[in-house]
Amino acid sequence: MTYLQALIIAIIEGLTEFLPISSTGHMMITTAILGVEITPFVKLFTIAIQLGAILSVVVLYFKRFFKTIHFYIKLIVAFIPSAIAGLLLGDWIDAQLENIFGVAIALFVGGIILLFVDKRFKNQTISDEKNINYLTALKIGVFQCLALFPGVSRSASTIIGGMTQKLTRQTAAEFSFFLAVPTMLAATAKKLLDAYKDGLTLSSEEIKLLAFGNAIAFIVALVAIKTFIGILNKFGFKWFGVYRIIVGGILIILFLLHIKIAVV
């Protein structure tokens, strides 16, 4: 992996981590287009740089992370379902990181769902995180399990999960951001531990690439979060759904025509 490839992948991660369009799916597509060989380091890179994007949440919502102990308990409760599922399905999830066709299907189907989300969930009543109880947090956490398959989108699944529990779009989106922090911290830690157990030794250049990727993802995500909240409040999910259908549809057609998407 070159620095240019790392830059492009990190930008994609920062832009898409908090949008309901699947950051992992987009990074998989990007690596294929760039012709990046899927090595153990590349798999580690695409997971680890999500940590940089996630840390932007802590910066932007700094005061929210120092409120009450109940805030952290809710995040832990919501995190538990995906933590258990991730441990049980770790090898299967890792195998799906090369399944571009699966990503295409998930993007397309998810896009159709997003077209109807705004009409389906109206008159939402919970507009503040402090009004989210533990049971609601747990239910949102169950929805997050859907995102273990690349292409589904952790953001989409948790936001929709929140809206099924009467959260407003903005409150659901912000709770999704908060939940991303323990989720991605755990995912990165597990990936690093697995890499260590498998004997993966990072060279000084690879460590620099990881640091570089995290820094870029962090900077881009700072802008993306604020932009996403504005778009979500003004336009809802419709155009994200349209985008997913177009991208997923193109990928499905290319797959059926046996056309590889790598261009370099």
161-187 exposure pattern, b = at least 16 Cβ within 10 A, e = fewer: bbbbbbbbbebbbbbbbbbbbbbbeeb
Other CB atoms within 10 Å distance of the CB of residue 78: 29
Comparing CA positions, the residue from 22, 248, 244 lying closest to residue 147 is: 22
Element (H, E) at 99: none
> To the nearest 5 percent, what fractions of the chain are helix, strand and coil?
80, 0, 20
Sign (positive or negative) of CA dihedral 159, 114, 186, 65 = negative
Along the 264 residues of the chain, how does pLDDT read in single tens digits? Answer: 899 999 999 999 999 988 999 888 899 889 989 989 888 899 889 888 988 998 999 999 888 887 778 899 999 999 999 999 988 877 777 776 667 888 899 999 999 999 999 888 888 889 888 899 999 999 999 999 998 888 899 999 999 999 999 999 999 999 999 999 999 888 888 888 888 888 888 899 999 999 999 999 999 999 999 899 888 888 889 999 999 999 999 999 998 987 776 543
Q: How far apart are CA 88 and CA 142, in angstroms?
A: 15
Measured from the Cβ of residue 7, the count of other Cβ atoms closer than 10 Å reads 14
Would you tell me how many other CB atoms lie within 10 Å of the CB of residue 40?
Answer: 14
- Neighbour count for residue 117 (Cβ, 10 Å): 20
Length of the chain: 264
3-class DSSP assignment, residue 198:
coil
Nearest to 38 by CA among 105, 107, 93, 97: 97
Please report the pLDDT score of residue 97 as a whole number.
Answer: 65
